[in-house]
Amino acid sequence: MKYKNLGRSGLSVSQLCLGTMNFGPETDESTSHAIMDAALGYDINFFDTANRYGGKNDHFGRTEEIIGRWFAKGGGRREKVVLATKLYGEMDPWPNNKGVSALNIRRACDASLKRMQTDHIDLYQMHHIDRATPWEEIWQAMEVLVAQGKILYVGSSNFGGWHIAQAQAEAKSRNFMGLVSEQSIYNLLTRDIEREVIPAALNYGIGIIPWSPLHGGILGGVLKKERDSSRRLVARSKEALDAQRPQIEAYETFCESLGHEPADVALAWLLAQPAVTAPIIGPRTMEQLSESLKALEVVLTPESLEKLNEIFPGYKTSPEDYAW
């Protein structure tokens, strides 16, 4: 396993990030604990979660509780993990239990710490932009958490390039570090962040943490699995596949010529992109976790990267993307 600094920070994280969204709703607690133990065994030290994960039957926070009980087993588990979680979504219908107001930042952080049975969060991420809260309020609240030792770094998720610029300008005026990471949807099929988010990240020294690297499994060899009858897509995924079937056919054929599985190529492509620190893998099973590691062995030549760009055209940096 190789490690990278998260953005311009001094924080070293594994080049694959363990996503935990399936822990609880799709993966039972004992299996979730086994996956986290195995991840450490594979030298993955970067774990990502969110306060709303595990929310089947409105049990928001269940995933953080599962992680907390895993930490409570000891054995240096907490000390080995760079722990990232998020806030923003509504935890209950009562006012102020959503967004990133100073009040909710304080409440949400304390609640996450309690659920995860830890005294600090390494990377505290805003899950979405809050247009109702000014940046001076957000940064003042985050500064308090840093001063209290409850969080170490701040990140964003699903931000636009201009949101990042706003955040960093206000942080600089306060002599505060501001954002060190941005978690965005990014994969061969969804490359919108290449227009403005990645250029902003490169400019401000922010590490990109891609989520949905396989685009809901469509980049994971879905046509082969379909032919083998080993996977049946839900209606939404089937609709997306049908719309892009020619591209996926060309992609899987090219991956076969490289001698690699499509999922491995998709992850390897992300690791070769500017500003990307660590794609998020979200295994439901031990097998899915171990399979993800094969991507680290894939070396894509400039010619292979060019071919992938032919199959899945990306975007130029704005304004060149839409103007002369």
Residue 113 has pLDDT above 80, yes or no: yes
**Contact indicator for 41, 51 with CB cutoff of 8 Å:** no
Q: What pLDDT, on a 0 to 100 scale, did the predictor assign at position 76?
A: 97
- Residues of the chain with pLDDT > 70: what percent? 96
pLDDT at 42: 98
From the list 32, 28, 97, the residue with the least C-alpha distance to 56 is 28
Averaged over 47-73, what is the pLDDT? Answer: 93
How much is the pLDDT for 8?
A: 98
State the amino acid at position 117 in one-letter form: Q
139 pLDDT exceeds 70?
yes
Residue 234's pLDDT band, with cuts at 50, 70 and 90, is low
**Where in the sequence numbering do the catalytic residues fall?**
53
Q: Is the pLDDT of residue 235 over 60?
A: no
How do residues 210-232 score in pLDDT, each as one tens digit? 999 999 999 999 998 887 765 56
At residue 236 the predicted structure's pLDDT band, cuts being 50, 70 and 90, is low
**pLDDT in the model for residue 229:** 66
Q: What is the arithmetic mean of pLDDT over 139-146?
A: 98
Predicted confidence band at 239 (pLDDT cuts at 50, 70, 90)?
confident
What ranges do the domains of the chain cover? 3-217+263-303
Pairing of β 280-281 and β 17-19: parallel
Token digits for 260? 């690699």
What is residue 224's predicted lDDT score, i.e. its pLDDT?
Answer: 84
SS3 sequence of 233-293: CCHHHHHHHHHCHHHHHHHHHHHHHHCCCHHHHHHHHHHCCCCECCCEECCCCHHHHHHHH
User: Looking at the domain covering 3-217+263-303, what would its CATH class be?
Assistant: alpha beta
For residue 270, the model assigns a pLDDT of 98
Q: Which long-range contacts (CB under 8 A, 24 or more apart) does 239-245 make?
A: 240/215, 240/216, 244/189, 244/218
The pLDDT value given to residue 66: 98
**Residues 303 and 43: beta-carbon distance below 8 Å:** no
pLDDT of residue 55: 82
Q: What pLDDT, on a 0 to 100 scale, did the predictor assign at position 226?
A: 80
